[in-house]
Structure 1
Amino acid sequence: MKILKKFHEHLNNSSDVSKTLKTTFLLAIILLLTPMISISQNNQSFWIHADQVKPSKQADYEQVAKDFIEACTKYNLKDSDWSTARIDDGTYLTITPISNMADLDKNTLAPLFEKMGEEKFRSIFKRFNECYDKHGDYIVTLNSDLSYMPNGLTLNTEGQNYRKWHFLYVTPSNSQALREKIKAIKDLYAKKGAKEYFRIYHSGFGTMGEYYLAVISAKDEQSYAKLGDENEALLGDEGKKLFAEMFSLLDKYESKTGVMRPDLGYTAKQ
């Protein structure tokens, strides 16, 4: 969606483990007080943990992440899978699929704590906490109805670890209209047989404000730019018109660039 950035430019010209456990406990309390929160059964939701890593600590952060994965593998940690992305600003995202809000209250690391012992376990998280001053958690939900992947909706884009994230912030009064406009854009992509695929996520619990997030995978920055140019030409004036209408609904737009880091993810053995 290189066209997203072009429209934006046009518009402009005109702590340690105890802290983690405390966060989980607070989340559980909030969940009890908000019974109306729910996750769609038709769309996959993800628990995102974001670490804003200091520039001088990124190598240390990645090393402790690998040491943690090694420990999880050694002790065969079950029921705990995550993937990791790195944004160019130094933020690392740990992305964990969840079935429902109750998953947030599960202590899936308890078996690892028992097998490693308290001292070694806490040592790893102490090393993590030395790498950043800010971190947090939130939920996003993958929307299959709005996503465009004609060969099948999947997060595993092998050989395409480059990522472009387009954040479409919207006020409550325009939320439904924006959803409809994204659907119209998807339909145009399908009609034209566009080769630029995208996944749409919707913000959820833990975020300030509402946004839709378009995520595009590519081999690298050059491939993303080339595909974006080809897609813009393919969609033509009809595409420009739809994107202009979509941007008129936004409260704010921003884009971020980064990569998936398979070496920092973990998949439990079955």
Structure 2
Amino acid sequence: MRTPFRLLLALLFLSSTLMQGQSDADYQSFWVHEDHVKPAMVNKYENVNKKLVSELKAHNIQDEQWITTQTDDYRYLYVGQIDNMASLDRPVFASLAEKMGSDKMGSLFSEMNDYYDKHFDYVIHLDKKLTYMPEGINQTPEGQDFRKFYYVYTTPANRGKLAENFKKIKKLYQDKGSKVSYRVYRSGFGAPEDYFLVAIAAKDALSYEQQAVANRSLLGEEAKPLFDEMSQYMSGMEVVTGTMRSDLAYSPKQ
């Protein structure tokens, strides 16, 4: 992500935050860098990314940190927490370039350009009020690397109604003591459409399906009118399966 984009993102994101009256208690924001990798180039793409992570670890770069998800449709999502606006307004990988040399680092990114068709950046907001994780919100629960993502698309006119519907669904999960937890994100600046993203973690695909079946039985007939109501405020839905990739993530040593 280039610095001019960061500056624009900071200004627009700040404006959006002020208009919506968001508070740190209810929301946590994240930047997302998304690469759409050519299927035949996956191995080469990952090798370059592993070299990048190796360099970051070797120099213990302190000002970079992200988690990584690989989806079944060859998308790679790099997600990093935004703690304040200053975290957006900075040259990315500047510390790494200083340590390893800008030419060497530049060659890594130049090589990577050959391996994907498109890439872009955007912001998402974790909505803590809509999220259901009784044991505490955690993006990377231990031993649960499988992911199911539900992109629930909506329109500006229906965004608020859909949010109220999510509150009703969360209450049903709470009342029933559901064992299936989930996180809800709202799309932010740079996202191509308005959506709510529901992220569910599980050990693997089989565990996910077993949990889903048990949960449908637990929620019973009370769930149907809520999901019928949801369909009224949706403009579409996309279901994506993914896997957390700790080998392509980076977190500095303290």
Q: TM-score, normalised by structure 2?
A: 0.93
In the superposition, relative to structure 1, how do residues 164 and 248 fare at CA in structure 2: closer, same or farther (>3 Å)?
same
What does residue 7 of structure 1 align with?
Answer: none
Task: State the number of aligned residues.
Answer: 249
Aligned residue among 93, 97, 100 for 2:81: 97
Q: Look up the equivalent residue of 1:125 and give its one-letter code.
A: F
- The offset of 1:103, in angstroms, is 2.0
Aligned residue for 1:150, secondary structure, equals: coil
The AA in structure 1 aligned to 2:42 is Q
Per the alignment, residue 41 of structure 1 pairs with 24
Match of 1:8 in 2: none
Q: Verify the 8 A CA contact 2:35 2:119 in the aligned structure 1.
A: yes
**Gap regions ≥5 residues in structure 1:** 1-19
1:28 aligned partner, one-letter code: L
Aligned sequence identity (%): 43
- Secondary structure, counterpart of 2:128 in structure 1: strand
Counterpart pick for 1:58 among 39, 42, 45: 42
Question: Partner residue of 2:199?
Answer: 215
Which of residues 135, 152, 167 in structure 2 aligns to 1:168?
152
CA displacement, residues 153-206 of structure 1 (integer Å, 9 cap, x when unaligned): 111211110000001111111111110110100000010011111000000010
Matched with 1:146 is 130
Q: After the TM superposition, which residues 83-122 of structure 1 pair with which residues of structure 2 at under 5 Å, given as runs? A: 83-122=67-106
1:127/1:230 Cα in 2 relative to 1: closer, same or farther (>3 Å)?
A: same
Aligned to 1:26: 5
- Partner residue in 1 for 2:171: 187
Displacement of 1:60 in angstroms is 0.7
Does 104-113 or 138-147 show the bigger shift? 104-113
Q: Distance in 1 between matches of 2:13 and 2:43?
A: 39
- Structure 1 runs of 4+ aligned residues shifted over 3 Å read 29-35
Paired residue for 1:200, among 152, 159, 184? 184
Q: Alignment partner of 1:148: what SS?
A: coil
Structure 1 pair 256–33 and aligned structure 2 pair: CA distance change class (3 A): closer
Letter in 1 for 2:204: D
Q: TM-score of the superposition, structure 1-length normalised?
A: 0.88
Q: Distance in 2 between matches of 1:94 and 1:251?
A: 26
The residue aligned with 2:58 is: 74
State the shift of 1:141 in Å.
0.7
- 1:256 — aligned with what? 240
Segments of 5+ residues of structure 2 without an aligned counterpart are none
Alignment partners' CA distance in 2, 1:74 and 1:231: 45
Separation (CA, whole Å) in 2 of partners of 1:96 and 1:40: 19
What displacement does 1:32 show? Answer: 4.1
Q: Distance in 1 between matches of 2:246 and 2:13?
A: 35
Q: Distance in 1 between matches of 2:180 and 2:76?
A: 25
The separation in 2 between residues aligned to 1:201 and 1:142, in whole angstroms, is 4
Aligned residues: CA RMSD: 1.5
Superposed CA offset, 1:105-153 (max 9, x none): 2124112111111221111111211111200000001111100011111
User: Quick one: structure 1 residues 131 and 174, their matched pair in 2 at CA, closer, same or farther if it must change by over 3 Å?
Assistant: same
Separation (CA, whole Å) in 1 of partners of 2:167 and 2:132: 9
Check the 8 A contact 2:32/2:122 in 1, yes or no: yes
Query: How many Å separate the matches in 1 of 2:12 and 2:176?
Result: 47
Post-superposition offset of 1:33: 6.6
Question: Cα gap change, 1:192/1:32 in structure 2, threshold over 3 Å: closer, same or farther?
Answer: closer
What SS does the corresponding residue of 2:186 show, helix, strand or coil? strand
